[in-house]
Every structure is written in C-alpha cells, then in structure tokens.
Amino acid sequence: MEKDINELKDLYTEGKLGGKELDDFLKMMDDDPELARDVKLQLLISRTLKDEGSFALRENLNAIHEKQKKKKFGKIVPMRYYRVAAGFAAIIAVGALLLFVMRPPLNKRLYSQYYKAYEASYSVRSADASGDKFNQAMGKYSEGNYKDAWSMLKELSKVDKTDMGSFFFRGIAAMEIDDLDDAMISFNAIIADKRSLYVEQSEWYYALCLLKKDNIVAARSALQKISMDNGFYKTSAEEILNKLGN
Amino acid sequence: MTDYSEEDIVEGISHNKHDVLEYVYKNYFPAIRWKLALRARFLQEDDVWDIFQDALVVLYRKLTVEKIELKCTAKTFIYAVCKLMIKQRRDKLGLIEYEFKVVLDEIVDPVTESEVTEFFADLETLNDDILEGLIIKYYRKLQGSCKKILRMFYKGSSLKEIAEAMKLKNEIIAKKQKYRCLNYLKNLLKDDSTFQQVEKNLKQYGKRY
C-alpha cells in the first residue's frame, strides 16, 4: 500500500526511509519548498523532544525563573508605551518651549541639577612616585584634569577588564569631557559584573548619561529600575522621574 | 548565597544541578535583562528569558555532547552566545541600528566573542538552537494528552503502546491523534514572529537536506 505524506515525513525524520522511496521524497522536497520547510521543522521537533538532557535543563531553568521573577523583577513595560507617553510629553514640551524659549530643555536642566562628579575616595597626588598608574590617573582626576585621567584610565581598563575602579572613574571622566558614549560603555562593563562595588553608582550615572543624550525614554526606564532597587540613589531617581512627569 | 568556583559552575551546568543553575540565574541573568530593557523597543519579558535560556542550553550541549573545554568563563560564554542570539533576533526586539550596536558592545567585547565563536563550526546552528527553544515553549502550551502522545512517540513508543496508554480505540486513532498534535504544534510555531525571523535567517532550506 502506498504511504501517505505524513507517514513519509515520519519515516524520513526518523531515518527509516531508504532506496527509491528516499530518492523520491528528496525530489519532492526539492520541488516543494513548503514541504521542505515542514520536514525541517519536524526534524527539529523530533530532535528537541528526544533530547532528554536539554529538556530537563529547560524544565529546571523555567522553575527557577518562575520562582525568581515573582520575587525579584518588576515587569518590563514595553518601550512602545513609553513612546506614547513620550509623545504626550513632547506635545507638552512644545507648549513649555513657547513660554520658556530661552531655557535649556528640562532633561538638560535636570542633568545639571543632579550630576556631580563622583568624589575619589583615594588619597592621591598627581606626582605619585610609586609608579602605580591607577594612582597617577586618580591624581589627575582629583586635580580636575579629566582629559588626562580619562586616557590613563581607559588604557588601564583595556589592560585589565576586571579592574572595575578604572572602568568607573573612566566613566565619570568621560562624562566630564562630554564623551557620553564612552561613559556608557564603561558603566555597562561594571553593571555586567554584579560583584563590583560600583554597580549602583554606575546605574545612576548611566541613567544621567541617557538623560543628557535626550534619550528620555531609556532614562526613565533606568531611573525606574534605580527607584525599584531601593538603593542610595532611590530618592534622587524618584525626584527626576517626578520632574520629568508621567 | 553560596559562591561557586568556575569549576563548580561548569560541572553544575553539565549535570543540571538546581542550586548551581539558580546561582547562574541570579548572577548572570539580571545584567542581560537590564541592558536589553534599556534598549529594545518591543521587548517582552519572555524574549530576554528565551535568549538567556537558549544560551545556557547551548553551553550545556557544548559541554555534554561536544565535550568542549571552555577557554573563557561560563559567564563570558553565556553572554557571548546571548549576543550572537540577539543578532539573530534583532528585528523582533525592535533594535534600531545604533541601539543594536551599543547593546552588542555592552554585552561582551569583541575579543571574548571571538574566543567563543571558535566553538561554533557554523554559526547558523544557533538558529536551530533558537528554534528548539521555541519548540519547547509551544510544546508546553499543548494540551496534556497531546504532550503525552508526542513525548511517547519521540521516546520510541509504538502506536499500539500509545493507544493503550491514552485509552484510544486502536493504533489508527493513535496515529491520527499524533498527526493532529504534531500539526498543531507546527502551526503554532509557524505563526510565531521569532520563528519567522529565524526562518528568514536560514537562507536556503533546500540545501540542508
């Protein structure tokens, strides 16, 4: 009795089709891309459901995820909703601009109000004779020579990617010389490493970078995360959010 | 929380150890979630989780099936695979060109990425890994009887055994039921936007048979 197409798909995906039947089936797939697509998918389904190890791993991971997400994370609000909100904010901003033509935009004013270079807690001198490059860089930083500090810290953070101190002060120095892209890259290197002492500070300065870059939507999202985390910058983050409006 | 050594982490992932996986989840997942949450316009909770989970399964397979020896940390490997997977899903995540580049740069630097990509003879296989993740996702959404029939079939049970276990009249009914479940699963997948995106990435199906 001639086999139906479903049977042929089963036999093919289970490697049980041979001889002329296999040749004919391969030709059918060559002539019919939709059939080829369907068979490819069936092959993957077969492989996936047979893979006990990966299946068990996914079950385990899902159980962990379900448990943790209820506890730890807030819900991610899709950016499109923020964009709608941002649209309304833009309309309001236009009105405000008519009244306050000479004033800088709100985000820039908030940035100036809340940004303050992080104070180095290191006791350093620019003429540090120890040869310790980090100390030398921090000497420049403390003097307010952010340009030199930035290039030295950038070199250090390139050499040792675990040196979160270099990454952090490189980020602040970059903000001071208005290289916000580099600042964001530096802070992100720290945020990715949850063990760092600078995670909380980096999240704060990262949000300020977004604010200054006119990326209000992302800034708002970053500030909301800071607010939810109940850390040192919670109050400031909430103040900015309030001032930005809903 | 217990701190695990790199060796413990690799061993724990290979052996599906719950406490190690929980540690990996708590320490590695938030950063990826955070970076994407800031950038992706159409992001849903599930997208980030799917990416992270698929990356962990890729590592698990590399360790258990291909028996690779990691040249970087498990964390770097997972982040680099996440990065590669984000590339495959970029349209779905709604990343515009600038944001896309920034997200990728933020996740892991190019040097470590190349350390990881050398473990992939063909990066196109990552598309299959994404599809496998989707298969499990939709498989979970099937009715209990469909799940059982498909699992039994792919574990090698005969149609007769399936008919008996499911209290179906005979093998012919079991066979029909199996096709119905399989086709339903396929249709769910074909309607999924990530599936369609990944399909576009796989340029020519025909050549792969």
State the DSSP string of chain A.
-PPPHHHHHHHHHTT---HHHHHHHHHHHHH-HHHHHHHHHHHHHHHHHH-HHHHHHHHHHHHHHHHHHHHSPPPPPPHHHHHHHHHHHHHHHHHHHHH-TTSPPHHHHHHHHH--PPPP-S---TT--S--HHHHHHHHHHHT-HHHHHHHHHHHHHH-TT-HHHHHHHHHHHHHTT-HHHHHHHHHHHHH-TT-TTHHHHHHHHHHHHHHTT-HHHHHHHHHHHHHHT-TTHHHHHHHHHHH--
**Same-domain status, B108 and B71:** yes
Cα B148 off chain centre by: 21
| Inter-residue contact B36 to B43 (CB < 8 Å) | yes
Contact between chains at B209 and A29 (C-beta distance less than 8 A): yes
Q: Tell me if chain A has a CB within 8 Å of the CB of B136.
A: yes
Which of B107, B191, B209 has the highest number of chain A CBs within 10 A, making it the mutation to test binding with A?
A: B209
Q: Tell me if chain A has a CB within 8 Å of the CB of B6.
A: no
Q: How far A86 CA lies from chain B's nearest CA (Å)? A: 13
**Same-domain status, B83 and B54:** yes
Rounded mean pLDDT, B134-139: 92
Range of the domain at B152: 128-208
Rounded mean pLDDT, B102-127: 67
Residue type present at position A56: A
Q: Model-level pTM greater than 0.80?
A: no
Q: Of B120, B143, B162, which marks where a domain is finished?
A: B120
**Same-domain status, B169 and B116:** no
Q: How far A124 CA lies from chain B's nearest CA (Å)? A: 31
Q: Of B72, B98, B120, which marks where a domain is finished?
A: B120
Distance, in Å, from the CA atom of B33 to the CA atom of A13, rounded to the nearest integer, reads 37
**pLDDT at B21 > cutoff 70:** yes
Report residue A130's pLDDT band, with 50, 70 and 90 as the boundaries. Answer: very low
Alpha carbon separation from A135 to A148, A171, A202, A240, B120 (Å, rounded): 13, 16, 21, 34, 42
Distance, in Å, from the CA atom of A189 to the CA atom of A201, rounded to the nearest integer, reads 13
Residue type present at position B120: F
Angle at A154 between CA A149 and CA A157, to 5 degrees: 120
DSSP label of B71: S
**Same-domain status, B109 and B181:** no
Distance, in Å, from the CA atom of A24 to the CA atom of A16, rounded to the nearest integer, reads 14
Residue B1 lies in a domain: no
Contact between chains at B26 and A218 (C-beta distance less than 8 A): no
Domain ranges in chain A are 5-71, 105-244
**Interval B152-169: pLDDT, tens:** 999 889 999 999 999 988
Q: Of B120, B143, B163, which marks where a domain is finished?
A: B120
The full DSSP string for B143-203 is: -HHHHHHHHHHHTT--HHHHHHHTT-S-HHHHHHHHHHHHHHHHHHHHT-HHHHHHHHHS-
Q: Show residues of chain A in contact with B188, CB under 8 Å.
A: none
Q: How far A172 CA lies from chain B's nearest CA (Å)? A: 17
Residue B20 lies in a domain: yes
Q: How far B205 CA lies from chain A's nearest CA (Å)? A: 7
**pLDDT at A105 > cutoff 60:** yes
Contact between chains at B186 and A41 (C-beta distance less than 8 A): yes
Distance, in Å, from the CA atom of A138 to the CA atom of A165, rounded to the nearest integer, reads 10
Residue A71: closest C-alpha in chain B:
B26
Smallest Cβ–Cβ distance between B16 and the set A56, A76, A79 belongs to A56
Rounded mean pLDDT, B40-49: 65
Q: How many domains does chain B have?
A: 2
Of B200 and A186, more confident = A186
**Same-domain status, B15 and B86:** yes
Contact between chains at A79 and B40 (C-beta distance less than 8 A): yes
Contact between chains at B38 and A218 (C-beta distance less than 8 A): yes
Q: Tell me if chain A has a CB within 8 Å of the CB of B90.
A: no
**Interval A45-71: pLDDT, tens:** 999 999 989 999 999 999 998 887 666
Q: Tell me if chain A has a CB within 8 Å of the CB of B185.
A: yes
| Inter-residue contact A106 to A93 (CB < 8 Å) | yes
Contact between chains at B189 and A41 (C-beta distance less than 8 A): yes
Residue type present at position B104: L
**Same-domain status, B116 and B132:** no
Domain A105-244 adopts which CATH fold? Answer: 1.25.40
Residue A22: closest C-alpha in chain B:
B209
**Same-domain status, B84 and B155:** no
- Report the percentage of chain B scoring pLDDT > 90: 38
